[in-house]
Amino acid sequence: MPRALQRQAVSHAAPRRAKLLPLVCAATLAAGGLATLAVNAEADTVSGNLLANPGFESGALGAWSCTTGTGSVVNSPAHSGSYALKGAVGNSDTAQCGQTVAVQPNTKYSLSAWVQGQYVYLGATGSGVTDPATWTPGGSSWQQLSTTFTTGASTTSVNVYLHGWYGQGAYLADDVALVPGSTPPPPSSPPPSSTSASASPSPSSSQTSTPPPNVAVPVAPYVDMGAWPVPVLGDMAAGGNLKSFTLAFVTSVGCKASWFNAWDPRAGWAKDQIDAIRAAGGDVKISFGGASGTELAAACTTVDSLFAEYDAVVNAYNLKYVDFDIEGSAVADKASNDRRSAALAKLQKAHPGLKVSLTLPVLPEGLTADGVSIVQSARDTGVDVDLVNVMAMDYGRPNTNYGDAAVQAAQSTHDQIKALYPAKTDAQLWAMTGVTPMLGENDDHQIYNQASAQQLVAFAKQHHLGVLGFWEMTRDANACTGALFKCTNIPQTPYEFSKIFSQYTG
């Protein structure tokens, strides 16, 4: 994907890190005075529970904080006691509520909660902690979610959180418990006022393999992290009504992972920004490769050495998502592509649930033969490919409507994936399809404009595409005329494209 070639600032001096400004969607505490109500909720009596106000029996949020305006305490229905948490999920907000708790390093903890609603999530985040998130497809009865995790050597606190899912309606939560040890509090029957269908759920009704109706990260535009000044993700999230990003690019210095040949990912460069995005309810994908650097698969000559570099980046940033932007001569390099496939299969075994996306060049007629071979190599090596994300840009065809071409490329790619994965349903195939256009003037001087963006969003809503991205956030933010690496060169307001793409929620 196109990258800024002007890197003199990086080579001459280390850029100062831009200060991360407060996110507009920072969690806020609901108003409410101190309550002196009697506490009789189940979680309030769980031995060793570290959470404050775990059954919401104070009648207020207390120690819990929720994204602005989405959290409240209600007195009906409750799983036990008199009160429960209600999260007001919207089309652009999952109503995340959380509480930060002091914990001990190198200690196993169990986490549980009773929930009601569609697609309710429970998890915990913290330095050195792999998020143990669990979820339920939901229903009209109370269901118990439970999970475990182990703190890292330097972990002193975690944030326990609950949230719903975009457009799925409000959720309820009650009797949340965080206790040392690997056994969660035993399920208990709901009070008699609950419906008879609210007994403890069978495994098939809680955390099944059925995917949520909307993808976890529906919009993740690329951010050229090598731009100068260093992009501030929090500003971009606030300015564009966005939650998540794809950070570009990790390349190689020899067989060593490097942010655009300048910074060592092992040192956690930009992790403070990533942590802030996650704290606001979003997430990041880190992308390897790009047009201007050498992807690690070409630099590392063995599967084990390549795996070690990918693994180091995943560990440094506690990643759930990795992206591989394969273009230029790399697309036809079968040896490196097969080596990458083998390393990714090993990486997913080391990190169960890790999502892998392959970002590939495309024409309106679909992936090139080399692109199809890359997906086939990953499939045959055992990689669970989450997304085939196409670069709907730079076709080199004058007088082409780039809005129509992006939609056609998505349909063509869907059909090619179907041939590779014949057992998948049509909905699953669309969920594997991602589209990433280049905003404004493309390198071939053809134009992708705001109407084209609206057209793609409408198409994505119709078919529930796996992800929408675009190249690139700083160009959208600058809204300028000039060099293509930093300007779209079409009339627009700052973050105009971001606000259009943010309308897509899965």
Strand 257-259 versus strand 245-252 pairing type: antiparallel
Q: Closest by alpha carbon to 245, among 218, 226, 266?
A: 218
Taking a C-beta distance cutoff of 8 angstroms, is the pair 95, 71 a contact?
A: yes
Q: With H, G, I as helix, E, B as strand and everything else as coil, classify residue 491.
A: coil
Instruction: For residue 383, give the amino acid letter.
Output: V
Q: Closest by alpha carbon to 322, among 265, 254, 273, 242?
A: 265
Q: What is the DSSP letter of 401?
A: -
Q: How far apart are CA 381 and CA 229, in angstroms?
A: 40
> What is the torsion angle, in degrees rounded to the nearest 10, for the CA atoms of residue 10, residue 270, residue 351 and residue 211?
-120
Q: With H, G, I as helix, E, B as strand and everything else as coil, classify residue 111.
A: strand
Question: 140: burial class by Cβ within 10 Å (0-12, 13-18, 19+)?
Answer: exposed
Instruction: For residue 48, give the amino acid letter.
Output: G
Q: How far apart are CA 284 and CA 278, in angstroms?
A: 8
Tokens of 16: 């100062």
Number of H helices, E strands in the chain: 12, 20
Alpha carbons within 13 A on the beta-carbon side of 369: 0
Task: Report the run of H or E that residue 143 belongs to, with start and end.
Answer: strand 134-150
Alpha carbons within 13 A on the beta-carbon side of 416: 26
Of 309, 327, 441, 472, the catalytic one is 327
Q: How far apart are CA 371 and CA 361, in angstroms?
A: 7
Tokens of 428: 């699953």
DSSP 451-490: HHHHHHHHHHHHHT-SEE--B-HHHHHH--SS-TTT---S
Q: How far apart are CA 445 and CA 323, in angstroms?
A: 27
Alpha carbons within 13 A on the beta-carbon side of 291: 12
CA terminus-to-terminus distance, the chain: 24
Tokens of 425: 């349903």
Q: With H, G, I as helix, E, B as strand and everything else as coil, classify residue 284.
A: strand
The answer to whether residue 295 is catalytic is: no
- Catalytically active residues, by annotation: 327
